[in-house]
A and B are shown apart, each in its own frame.
Chain A
């Protein structure tokens, strides 16, 4: 086996070695490009940059402070949701219930604050713990009972959107702590201009570190890559799966509260959350996380969300009519994903071909 010439390259982001000869031969920008493409997130980074350049050339005010102030907070909620979803998707599973919890958490928060009389922070904490309990139930159904995750979490999605409608009696509620003038609570929990952006960056950084440099992350990848093998090696598969579902539900509830505070009201209408769910999953997939499991990146999901944000923002700046927006977004996502596949092929060709 030793005689077989191996020339593989690190697939880990930032792997220290890689195809060294090749890399040394490339000067300046090409070296940077090669290094970028060696990352799992490489293709989406390239595509996001190209998209941003396109819009900055074709619109006059893309790179203005004012626009960035619109753009940057816009993608943050998707980035947080996608970060949690990545942990479930790497397992080879899916969590659709995040839309239900996104709606349920702020309504429960409202009830705990107004009816039960908890003050703001304890009410948020209890609401988020409730979300994590739902995540634990999801995880038990998927791992222990063995029900298909799509079905279980779809059921949970309907259940908690329904529960939100029941509790709120179908009428919008005013988010506690989200009414002007905003206090510290409101500013921290989503109301401040950059609040969600800061949360998103912090959560993504922490979860990426967990994914790459902790046992939890290694076991998550192990289960998604070879579930039987992982359990034979002694990984407690069910525990890890339940934990990941709890994390995913926590991020969903958190974003739900943020958005409720930011917009000052909770609209008990499932349509908005459902669209957000799809965008979050799309951000994760665009960012390089496989729907089939075994591989994924939280940073990629953040950039995927950023790409979706740039796209929507750029299309609006370019003067695309509101009725055409969804249509163009759909086409652009397909084009971007196709480009992603090609760039990914170039990347593998470069690092694997030798």
Chain B
């Protein structure tokens, strides 16, 4: 990033090569992402991303719109494949072939668009792709799914009055909570939350952060969470990684950084982009 004291580069001069956070790791990593790159035709979404997630940790992933956060999440979750780079889960090479495959390896995602099905009931959504069937008949065991759904929601402290209604009828917070519950309930131990607080009121957002805090306290799962609000990052996350222009430009424990530092990175980048645009 730009030097302290932020002297704007001379017009016409190429921006200085920015230092990129090197491959980081810790002994108790559950997930490690090394040199991931991804292009969509002419657009480079990710240039070179290194990221690691420790056991029981909540990692906040920050970055401007289009910085590559969602692409990174989709690659980790097995929805898209990277062009270059490697990933490891619990030390083992991790090459998810599909979302189902990633889930089988303990990695599950709550997407920004929630992946909830409006027309389906709460419990059908909770069990999507993991439906209980009445063996040997290939018919859904709705009774058991309802019972298990009720128990799972109670367990993580989400209050949904009726679980046989379609999720279209629920509030944004309830929908998000169900999406999180679906992931937690799937026995995943690495959970990716793509903007879990988007389009949500302050009170509902606080309830989701409470849920994250409870999961963290249990210590079973490790979480990567994309956020926009810095205050929420410092409230909920142990560590923060900032992605900019397809690479990680900051990786620090939240205790060692501040809203000011994060803001400054973003402002400097904004200034540089504007100067570059002016030529």
Query: Chain A residues in contact with chain B, CB under 8 A?
Result: 1-2, 4, 6, 8-12, 15-17, 209, 213-215, 218, 221-222, 224-226, 228-235, 294-295, 352
In the assembly, what is the distance between CA of A1 and CA of B200, in Å?
Answer: 11
Please tell me the number of chain B residues within 8 Å of chain A, measured between CB atoms. 40
Chain A residues, Cβ within 8 Å of B99: 231-234
Which of the segments B57-65, B131-139, B240-248 contacts the partner chain?
B131-139
In the complex, given contacts A17-B164, A218-B124, A222-B117, what are 10 additional A-B residue pairs having Cβ atoms less than 8 angstroms apart?
Answer: A1-B174, A6-B162, A11-B165, A17-B162, A213-B142, A218-B140, A221-B119, A221-B120, A222-B128, A226-B113
Determine whether the beta carbon of A224 is less than 8 Å from that of B139.
no
Residues of B close to A11: CB separation below 8 A: 165-166
Q: Are B118 and A215 touching (Cβ within 8 A)?
A: no
Neighbouring B residues of A230 by C-beta, 8 Å: 115, 117, 128
* Contact (Cβ within 8 A) A229 B120: no
What is the CA–CA distance of A2 and B170 in the complex, to the nearest angstrom? 11
Q: Please name 19 pairs of A and B residues whose Cβ atoms are closer than 8 Å in the assembled complex, sorted by A.
A: A1-B174, A8-B162, A9-B165, A10-B165, A11-B166, A213-B142, A215-B133, A221-B117, A221-B119, A222-B120, A226-B117, A229-B116, A229-B117, A230-B115, A230-B128, A232-B99, A234-B98, A234-B103, A352-B169
Contact with A along B208-228 (1 / 0, CB 8 A): 000000000000000000000
- Of A10, A12, A232, which contacts B115 at CB under 8 A? A232
Residues of A within 8 A of B230 (CB): none
Which of B111, B117, B174, B204 has the largest number of chain A CB atoms within 10 A? B117
Judged by a CB distance under 8 angstroms, whether B254 is at the interface is no
Is B207 among interface residues, defined by CB-CB distance under 8 A?
yes
For window 96-129 of chain B, which residues contact chain A by CB distance below 8 Å? 98-100, 103, 109, 111, 113-121, 124, 128-129
| Distance, CA A230 to CA B113, complexed state (A) | 11
Number of A-B contacts (CB under 8 A): 101
Interchain nearest-CB distance for A248 vs B (Å): 20
A224 vs B79: C-alpha distance in the bound complex, in angstroms?
Answer: 20
- Chain B CB within 10 Å, residue with most, of A10, A215, A294, A352: A215
Contact between A229 and B131 (Cβ–Cβ < 8 Å)?
no
Complex Cα distance, B166 from A4, in Å, reads 16
Q: Which of B162, B165, B207 contacts A1 (CB 8 A)?
A: B207
What A residues does B164 contact at CB under 8 A?
A: 10, 12, 15-17
CB distance from A22 to the nearest CB of B (A): 15
B129 with A1: CB separation less than 8 A: no
User: In the bound complex, do residue B118 and residue A4 qualify as a contact, i.e. CB atoms below 8 Å apart?
Assistant: no
Kindly identify which residue among A1, A15, A214, A229 contacts B111, using a CB–CB cutoff of 8 Å. A229
Find out whether the CB atom of A225 lies under 8 angstroms from the CB atom of B129: no
Q: In chain B between 155 and 169, which residues have their CB closer than 8 angstroms to a CB of chain A?
A: 159, 161-162, 164-166, 169
Q: Which of B69-91 touch A at CB < 8 Å?
A: 77, 79
Report chain B residues within 8 Å CB of A352: 169
Asked if A229 meets B114 with Cβ closer than 8 Å, knowing A1-B171, A214-B140, the reply is: yes
A17 to B161, CA, bound (A): 13
Known contacts A6-B162, A215-B140; is A229 also within 8 Å of B124 by CB?
no
Query: Would A2 and B165 count as touching, CB distance under 8 A?
Result: no
Chain B stretch 260-278: residues in CB contact (< 8 A) with chain A: none
The answer for the CA separation of A209 and B113 in the assembled complex, in Å, is 30
In the bound assembly, the distance between CA atoms of A153 and B133 in angstroms comes to 34
Residues of A within 8 A of B207 (CB): 1
Are A1 and B98 neighbours in the complex by a CB distance under 8 Å? Answer: no
Q: Report A-chain residues with C-beta under 8 Å of the C-beta of B204.
A: 1
Q: How far is the CB of A212 from chain B (nearest CB, A)?
A: 8
Contact A225 B117, beta carbon cutoff 8 Å: yes
